[in-house]
Amino acid sequence: MTRVKLIALLVLAVLAIVLVLQNSQAVETRLLFFTVTMPRAALLGLTLLIGFACGILVAIAVGKRNKKAS
């Protein structure tokens, strides 16, 4: 099982490196009243982290609501 986890981790690392290398050009993003210039890979990573955090928060809220109902 450890070997499978290591292979999966290596595959994800290679995919992350390919993603960064293919999306290195700068992109301008407007956030409400200001404009931010950053590499596209950083924008994708930031969006991924924000989505992950929102998913965790929703899962926690639903779990607490289900505990109160029980």
Q: Which of 23, 62, 15 is nearest to 46 (CA)?
A: 23
Residue 27 has pLDDT above 80, yes or no: yes
Amino acid 1: pLDDT: 79
Assign 70 a pLDDT band (cuts: 50, 70, 90). low
Mean pLDDT of 40-45: 86
List C-alpha distances in Å: 14 to 1, 20, 32: 20, 10, 34
